[in-house]
Amino acid sequence: MTAFILRRLLQSLIVLLAMIVIVFFGVHVVGDPIWLLVSPDLTQDQIAEVARQLGLDRPIWEQFAVFLGNALHGDLGISFVHGQPAMKLILERMPATMELALFALVLALVIGLPLGLYAGLRPERASSRAIMAASILGFSLPTFWVGLMLIMVFAVILGWLPSTGRGPTIAVLGIETSLLSLKGLSHALLPAINLALLKVSLVIRLTRAGVREVLPLDFIKFARAKGLSETRIVLVHLLRNILIPVVTVIGLEFGSLVAFSVVTESIFAWPGMGKLLLDSIQRVDRPVIVAYVMLIVVLFVVINLIVDLLYCLLDPRVRLQDQAS
């Protein structure tokens, strides 16, 4: 097991390095950031001075060596646009993204579990088929368009919830505490629903499959023979057995929620790290892009390591089922 973990960590390190190289040099090829940073009416000398300050006058190889050296000391460079350390910028916006992702995760479970349970317990009913059809639709719908429709219906037509819009409304949001106040919650609800959409479909399908699998097992029959009420059988005996795989899979989907938040954050002007990445891509802010990529790769390496370890620990059927799907 230790050897496995060590090998995986080494591989992850290679991946991380490869990603950094690709992004670092790739962004350099797209354009020299200096021309996007200075106003065109500066003199040559002034431009050269700015370039010298940012280290952009040196050859790309040298820039990369400096970057790697600094990165080993935990310094990922200073944003060209904001003039602040790239990592600080990302970490500042991280709570907003994490908050949204967590909210979406909870929503996915709260909406998906009951629907999945119902569809699993009464598979022959028309309403169950409707739920399953809706879950296919949930997989197919483009996230960004659903976000627009949510804004249109709940913010523009009904006026129930803030669309979080653009400009001044961002300042209204209390980011750190937005899930604790009612106003904060009302701002977070639409983006969280939008982000949760894909995961709701996943939870419905997982729960339904779990119910179909567990229901014919002996311990359920035994509970029935004992004369337990149907509610107790479902809520205690059945649910406890399905919940383990569902919660595991959903927990592991956290990484993809963080990734998808790029789309959601840009629609709802949610000031998280996904929006920062998008802005940085458009402004060729290389330090921020590289820092974001490093952070995300580390996040996914950790998550995937947990998946692999769990697969080793859980019974081998999990792996076979996963490949068959």
Partner 1 sequence: MSGNPAMSAPVIETLFQRFLAEMLEDRIAVGALLVFAALVAVAVMAPFITPQNPYDLAQVDILDARLPPGTKASEGFTLVLGSDGTGRDLYSAILYGLRISLSVGALSGVIAMVVGASIGLVAAYVGGWVEATIMRIVDLQLSLPAVLVALILVAVLGKGVDKIILALVIVQWAYYARTVRASALVERRKEYVDAAVCLDLSQSRILFRHILPNCLAPLIVVGTVQTAHAIALEATLSFLGVGLPQTEPSLGVLIANGFQYMLSGRYWISFFPGIALLLTIVSINLVGDRLRDVLNPRLKR
Structure tokens at 111: 């909406």
CB closer to partner 1 out of 233 and 284 = 284
Per the CB < 8 A criterion, the answer to whether 23 and 290 are in contact is yes
Binding mask 84-123 for partner 1 (x = CB under 8 A): ----------------------------------------
Name which of 2, 70, 7, 80 is nearest 301 in CA terms: 7
Q: Quote the DSSP letter at residue 85.
A: B
Q: Are 132 and 204 in contact (CB under 8 A)?
A: yes
What's the closest the beta carbon of residue 279 comes to partner 1, in angstroms? Answer: 10
**By CB under 8 A, residue 126 contacts partner 1:** no
Q: Does 141 bind partner 1 (CB under 8 A)?
A: yes
163 lies in the site for partner 1, by CB under 8 A: yes
C-beta neighbour count of 259 within 10 angstroms: 15
Stretch that binds partner 1, among 59-67, 113-121, 148-156, 312-320 (CB under 8 A): 148-156
Q: Which is nearer to partner 1, 203 or 238 (CB)?
A: 203
Asked if 302 is part of the footprint of partner 1 (rule: CB under 8 A), the reply reads no
Q: Please tell me the distance from the alpha carbon of residue 51 to that of residue 173, in angstroms, as a whole number.
A: 36
**Distance between CA atoms of residues 50 and 57, nearest Å:** 9
254 is a contact residue toward partner 1 (CB under 8 A):
no
- Beta carbons of 116 and 208 less than 8 angstroms apart: yes
Question: Does 304 contact partner 1 by CB under 8 A?
Answer: yes
Q: Is 37 in the site for partner 1 (CB under 8 A)?
A: no
Q: How far is the CB of 259 from partner 1 (least distance, A)?
A: 4
User: By CB under 8 A, is residue 22 in contact with partner 1?
Assistant: yes
Write out the DSSP string of 146-207: HHHHHIIIIIIIS--S----STHHHHH--TTTTTTSHHHHHHHHHHHHHHHHHHHHHHHHHH
Query: Of 40-48, 156-164, 174-182, 313-321, which segment contacts partner 1 by CB under 8 A?
Result: 156-164
User: Which amino acid is located at 93 in the chain?
Assistant: R
Give me 289's structure tokens. Answer: 């892009």
- The region of 26-34, 65-73, 103-111, 184-192 touching partner 1 under the rule CB under 8 A is 26-34
Site residues (vs partner 1, CB under 8 A): 11, 15, 22-23, 26-27, 29-31, 136-137, 139-145, 148-149, 151-152, 155-157, 163, 165, 255-256, 259-260, 262-263, 266-267, 277-278, 281-282, 289, 293, 296-297, 300, 304
